[in-house]
Amino acid sequence: MSKAKFIVYTYETTKADLLKDTRYKNLDKVVWSANTTTTASDHETEEAKNAYVPDELRTPVVVYEYWGEYDVDGDELLTPIVASWIGQTMIRLEKNPFPDEKPPFVVVPYLPIKRSIFGEPDAELIEDNQDVLGALMRGLVDLMGRSANSQVGTAKGFLDVSNQRRFDRGDDYQFNPGSGDPRLSVYQHKYPEVPNSAITMIGMQNQEAEAISGVKAFAGGLSSETYGDVAAAIKGMLDASSKREMNILRRLAKGMVDIGSKMSAMNSLFLSEEEIIRVTNEEYVTIEREDLKGGFDLIVDINTAEIDEAKASDLGFMLQTMGPNMEQELVNNILSQIAELKRMPKLAHDLKNYQPTPDPMQEKLKELEIRKLEAEVMEIEAQAQERMAKAKKLMSEADKVDLDFVEQETGTAHVRDQELREAQAEANQNLKVTESLLTPTKEGENKPNVDAAIGFNQLSRGTDRLF
């Protein structure tokens, strides 16, 4: 269908509906009575041939619409266009209004067949089986329909006239003693027995139809007993039907993606400047039209009842395996997913957003427990700091003892003591010299001889420089 050069289709409408749409012109030139649904030879309609036509405005007419390409500008370049007409009157002619410039059609074949638009249905695959089953069923119906079921026959002379009437009414009766055993004189007709060959043939046709179509019957039908009633056999039995079903669903999903792509392209052109959409019952999002331009990757997820059931079983087994040791938040998350697979959206929403109501007593106990632990931690830290201080003091004392020992062994302490005594002796000597120079003068008894002291100090500094 994507390679089609043009598409023409017909649809039914009325003059009143066309007048409401401003896209259609030349409506006054249409011969409405000559283009009704009952007069169109190439259009299938559900209207009865003798349907009552009230008036011209409400009379159903057939519109032909063409989607294709045409050299509009005369430059030998094809332009996508759309044209509509009724009978011999064209009522619409314009360029393709859609952003993708493609016809607004998406065709999804059920079972793809070359050069076929609609594909092939499942009934085509089992046509021969249905013909055989139909012939067998007709034979069985004829067999039973020609029998006199529940009809009762009696032997002549078995009953007289009065007892025959009692027998017909269902009352007690007397039979003639010379007529023999009444069980042999009365015969009730029944349906004939159906041949086993017919039953076997019907079973064979049903099994073959199920194997071809992959559709299981409501009673019996596909079973894993042929391969053994084990998990691997059941999986093998389901593969035949699920693969076929998934192939059909994937084609339908591809069609939904194409429809979504067309709608996305049209949204960027035809929507308002701002649109408010509802994501959930509690969340609303404002979308601007400019944000809708560009390409979108659309994904359609496919789930069947069997797939959902298998996922729910796996999640339930996960909960059973983990047991009560799993966190409550994770448990609620898994339970909400199971509820979604079971088609219970409200329960899934409630489970996912469930927050347990805190117990005041439990909250108080937790708070006291936390305070107790904090106090214990602080006590432990204080004890550790105290131990570290003692250890540091001991290390300092040990270092001092070691340093004294080293200085004693190397003579450093002796040298330092000797230097200290020499410095003290020199200071005492300088003090005595200074005191001897401070003699009384003529002007005053206690005035020091400053000039002599200055000279001594200079001499001392010179002596230091000399040494």
Per-residue model confidence as pLDDT tens digits over 85-117: 998 999 999 999 888 888 888 888 878 888 888
Say how far apart CA 94 and CA 184 lie, in whole Å. 91
Query: Looking at residues 171-180, what average pLDDT do you find?
Result: 84
CB-CB contact of 143 with 193 (8 Å)? no
Say how far apart CA 328 and CA 357 lie, in whole Å. 13
Q: The tokens of 121 are what? A: 């249905």
CB-CB contact of 234 with 226 (8 Å)? no
Query: Looking at residues 447-461, what average pLDDT do you find?
Result: 51
Count H helices and E strands in the chain, helices first. 13, 8
Q: According to the model, what pLDDT value does residue 287 have?
A: 77
CB-CB contact of 82 with 66 (8 Å)? yes
For residue 435, pLDDT beyond 80: no
For residue 458, pLDDT beyond 80: no
Query: Looking at residues 191-201, what average pLDDT do you find?
Result: 90
For the stretch 258-278, pLDDT in tens is 888 888 878 777 777 777 777
Which residues are within 8 A (CB) of 255 and not within 5 positions of it... i.e. 6 or more apart? Answer: 106, 107, 108
For residue 343, pLDDT beyond 60: yes
Using pLDDT thresholds of 50, 70 and 90, give the confidence band for residue 466.
very low
Using pLDDT thresholds of 50, 70 and 90, give the confidence band for residue 221.
very low
Q: According to the model, what pLDDT value does residue 46 have?
A: 65
Say how far apart CA 191 and CA 200 lie, in whole Å. 19
Q: According to the model, what pLDDT value does residue 417 have?
A: 80
Q: The tokens of 353 are what? A: 């957003």
For residue 213, pLDDT beyond 90: no
Return the DSSP state at 9: E
Q: Is the dihedral of CA 208, 214, 216, 222 positive or negative?
A: positive
Q: According to the model, what pLDDT value does residue 74 have?
A: 86
Say how far apart CA 265 and CA 271 lie, in whole Å. 10
Q: Which residue has the higher pLDDT, 279 or 218?
A: 279
Least confident window among 1-15, 158-172, 351-365, 385-399: 351-365
Write out the E strands in 262-410.
274-278, 284-288
Q: The tokens of 171 are what? A: 């009352």
Say how far apart CA 188 and CA 193 lie, in whole Å. 15
Q: According to the model, what pLDDT value does residue 313 have?
A: 86
Say how far apart CA 91 and CA 11 lie, in whole Å. 14
Least confident window among 45-54, 159-168, 172-181, 419-428: 45-54
Using pLDDT thresholds of 50, 70 and 90, give the confidence band for residue 241.
low
CB-CB contact of 217 with 207 (8 Å)? no
Using pLDDT thresholds of 50, 70 and 90, give the confidence band for residue 137.
very high
For residue 467, pLDDT beyond 70: no
Using pLDDT thresholds of 50, 70 and 90, give the confidence band for residue 57.
confident
Q: The tokens of 360 are what? A: 């005041």
436 conformational bin, left if phi > 0, alpha if psi -120 to 50, beta if neither: alpha
Say how far apart CA 387 and CA 117 lie, in whole Å. 90
Using pLDDT thresholds of 50, 70 and 90, give the confidence band for residue 217.
low
User: What share of residues in the chain are helix, strand, coil (percent, to 5)?
Assistant: 55, 10, 35
Which residue carries 């106090």 as its tokens? 375
Percent of the chain, pLDDT > 90?
15
Task: Phi first, then psi: give them for residue 364, nearest 5 degrees.
Answer: -65, -45
Query: Looking at residues 395-418, what average pLDDT do you find?
Result: 79
Alpha helix locations (H) across 173-327? 182-185, 196-213, 231-270, 305-322
For the stretch 141-174, pLDDT in tens is 998 888 888 888 888 888 888 988 998 888 998 8
Q: The tokens of 21 are what? A: 């749409």
Which residue carries 């250890």 as its tokens? 391
Using pLDDT thresholds of 50, 70 and 90, give the confidence band for residue 443.
low
Return the DSSP state at 187: E
For residue 218, pLDDT beyond 70: no
Chain centroid to Cα 429, Å, comes to 104
Which residues are within 8 A (CB) of 306 and not within 5 positions of it... i.e. 6 or more apart? Answer: 238, 242
Q: Which residue has the higher pLDDT, 203 or 307?
A: 203
Q: According to the model, what pLDDT value does residue 235 have?
A: 55
For residue 243, pLDDT beyond 70: no
Least confident window among 97-106, 195-204, 224-233, 432-441: 224-233
CB-CB contact of 208 with 129 (8 Å)? yes
Query: Looking at residues 35-48, what average pLDDT do you find?
Result: 72
Q: At 20, which amino acid appears?
A: K
Using pLDDT thresholds of 50, 70 and 90, give the confidence band for residue 300.
confident
Say how far apart CA 52 and CA 16 lie, in whole Å. 17
Helix (H, G, I), strand (E, B) or coil at 273: coil
CB-CB contact of 5 with 69 (8 Å)? yes
CB-CB contact of 251 with 109 (8 Å)? yes
Q: The tokens of 307 are what? A: 């797939």
For residue 14, pLDDT beyond 80: yes
CB-CB contact of 341 with 305 (8 Å)? no
Say how far apart CA 168 and CA 27 lie, in whole Å. 79
330 conformational bin, left if phi > 0, alpha if psi -120 to 50, beta if neither: alpha
Query: Looking at residues 134-147, what average pLDDT do you find?
Result: 90
Task: Phi first, then psi: give them for residue 124, nearest 5 degrees.
Answer: -65, -30
With 0-12 / 13-18 / 19 or more C-beta atoms within 10 angstroms meaning exposed / middle / buried, residue 386 is exposed
Task: Phi first, then psi: give them for residue 315, nearest 5 degrees.
Answer: -65, -40
